[in-house]
Chain A
Amino acid sequence: MPRLYAGALTLGMAAAGLSLSAHGATEIAWWHAMGGELGNKVDEIAADFNASQDDYVVEPSFRGNYSETMTGAIAAFRAGEAPAIVQIYEVGTATMMNAEGAIVPVHELMSESGQDVDPGAFLPAVTGYYTDADGRMLSMPFNSSTPVVYVNRDILDEAGVDAVPTTWQGLGETLGRIVDSGAAECGMTTTWPSWIQLENFSARNDLPFATEQNGFGGLEARLSIDDTAAVDHIQRLADWQQDGRFDYGGRFDDAAPAFYTGRCAMLMASSASLAGVRANAEDFDFSVAPLPYDSDLVDTPQNSIIGGASLWVLAGKSDEVYQGVARFFDYLSSAEVQADWHQFSGYLPITQAAYELGQQQGFYEQNPGSAVAIEQMTGVTPTANSKGLRLGNMPQIRDVIEEQLERIFNGDVSAQDGLSEAVRRGNALLERFQQANG
């Protein structure tokens, strides 16, 4: 009986293999980290592309969270089983960029396959993150988001606050009023602490996060967050933690429930959290506001920087596969596909055309709050401090920073000491990366 069963299984697998290769199409594996609803949307995009032509079949496959997907792809590459396309989060960018021989730069792929890419068609604040020193695209931006502020309108009304402040100074007063009036026990909380309160705070207020133009200039970059005004900002949050204006809610998205339950009046989170906030904010009205800036540092804020992920093409595949990948990327960046993905998910559109299409469709009027992130990103020209970060070992550096932020917020160390320690350990990681890739 077991032998019979095994035989049936083999037959079944052979049949499945046959049915896939039956119409002679080239298969393109696409590993991604989009679970749940977003994963279904990814499947839909691939299915639409597959239906649009007969030569290629894109096969998306969900591989766990960002870090699991990246680890899985690297292990698969070492074993010679790598997918053609893999979605890598933005902090993995430097690792991928420096893996010459393991990746195929997107600009090379597109020009070799005759698909001309016009860099001007993309939003510079989005694509800038994924270009080399000459402005050539290395990976295909896919899901990019940027932090915004979600505000519980009911609590603000109760506290008698009309407008959401745009500066940290104004925010301090407003949050004080909210907590003092008893409208909420916690003023604000934040998801992704390092990304929003240090990486984005620095960009928005035109402060360097690291030397060498935040690492775009080379591998010698070292962190500089312990000798800029970012220290004062973290100390401000640590002080607010004491009087209730701020409440630390953990790493990643862990802080979101504190906003959903109405305990905190404001939440700083990714623009892509809009759908989640909409689904969970059932008992109150909410609005979306831009990320505040520090009026002591700048008169007009810089753009914020992005998070999310881009699509990298791995080396070692046949020309036919790369032809297909280029066709697929061309499809992916078309205004219709982009606008649909952006409007469904809350991620930023990667091209100007997709944004304009949304405007024509009246999407932003019907969905207040969904344009805040785009305006925040596109209003100004990025500076060296706001183009993004390109630091090796960034996933670990972020862990080191968040570890120190936790120690600062629970009162173990001062902001200055905590951040100096983060810089010391972060720089050791940067040196190590330089040694391994230099």
Chain B
Amino acid sequence: MATFQRHRVTPWLLLAPQLAVVAIFFFWPAAQAMLQAFYVEDPFGLGRTFVAFENFARVLASAEYYRALGITVTFSAGVALGAMALALLLAVLADRVIKGAGAYKALLIWPYAVAPAVAGVLWGFMLDPELGLISAGLGALDIDWNHQLNGGQAMALVVMASIWKQMSYNFVFFLAGLQAIPRSLLEAAAIDGAGPWRRFWTITFPLLSPTSFFLLVMNSVYAFFETFGTIDATTAGGPGGATRTLVYKVFEDGFIGYDLGSSAAQSVLLMGLVGLLTLLQFRYLERRVQY
């Protein structure tokens, strides 16, 4: 402690690069967005008018915004829960593997290295109504797959692609969590006659709760923001707006429609929403976490 107090400048110097990155790439644009949200401006920036809260009022009065909000909730819940459940299952299975464990783990971590847009293109291609392998297989089962027209199928497609992409990230954390659980606990329970199912739910799962909680927060943020590339590359928010999440709407209004004020107002609202969600998670869910 004493050593730290003598070096007042050094810690700041060491932190400076990271702080600079955060300030330039996060705080500066965020401040710009907040400012922009109070103006109506032409695309070229030739003139802007201060409109106070009109952009917010307009967004909050539009039915499309609430529709996108509903879609975001469905989508995020599907992605976060799906990606975590699948990753947990795979981690438990991979934890038991003795032969070739390294290969299994490497393969399961692989999808995380794939860019979101590429993940989207990949799944979109496999399920392409004309050319896709999977859609051809579904056709043989008399399931007519056309995500260009069917909103439910389009949603399923982006959820699947987003889950596949995020699963690896969760897998790594769950696997590390599983390996941190002392074997002696599980062995003691086994000796007491507890079966694998019981051992999982009474020992493993509660001991994984810090990991699960951390991943829930990370996955919610992922589903809200980082899935943009996947959606853009597969359904572009369609059909009929069925996969237009809030972040996609921000992009559409800002970068296709050049309605910068409305787009900025929406991103401020979105920022607030995710902040609130994270706060709620910490306030209510974290109490049930056993460290």
Residues of A within 8 A of B (CB): 67, 71, 74, 77-78, 95, 98-102, 248-251, 254, 257-258, 261, 263, 393, 395-396, 399, 402-404, 406-407, 409-410, 412, 425, 429, 432, 435-437
Contact = CB atoms under 8 A, between A and B. Distances in A.
Given A250-B148, A425-B64, A429-B257, A78 B45 contact: yes
Interface stretch (B160-168, B201-209, B238-246): B238-246
Interface residues of B, number: 28
A185 B46 CA distance: 53
B255 A71 contact: yes
A416 B179 CA distance: 61
A405 to B, nearest CB: 8
Interface in B33-65: 40-46, 64
B236 interface: yes
B179 to A, nearest CB: 38
Given A101-B44, A403-B241, 16 more contacts: A67-B255, A71-B256, A78-B45, A98-B42, A99-B42, A102-B44, A249-B129, A254-B148, A263-B130, A396-B256, A402-B238, A403-B240, A407-B239, A409-B149, A410-B151, A437-B42
Contacts of A71: 255-256, 258
A199 to B, nearest CB: 17
Given A248-B148, A250-B148, A395-B257, A95 B238 contact: no
Given A251-B236, A257-B131, A410-B239, A99 B257 contact: no
B40 A74 contact: no
Interface of B: 40-46, 64, 128-131, 148-151, 236, 238-241, 252-253, 255-259
Chain A interface helix/strand/loop/mixed: helix
A423 B258 CA distance: 20
B219 to A, nearest CB: 29
Q: Main SS of chain B's interface residues? A: loop
A74 B44 contact: yes
A67 B256 contact: yes
A242 to B, nearest CB: 12
Nearest to B239: A406
A404 B46 CA distance: 33
B239 A403 contact: yes
B149 A396 contact: no
Contacts of B130: 249, 257-258, 261, 263
A396 B240 contact: no
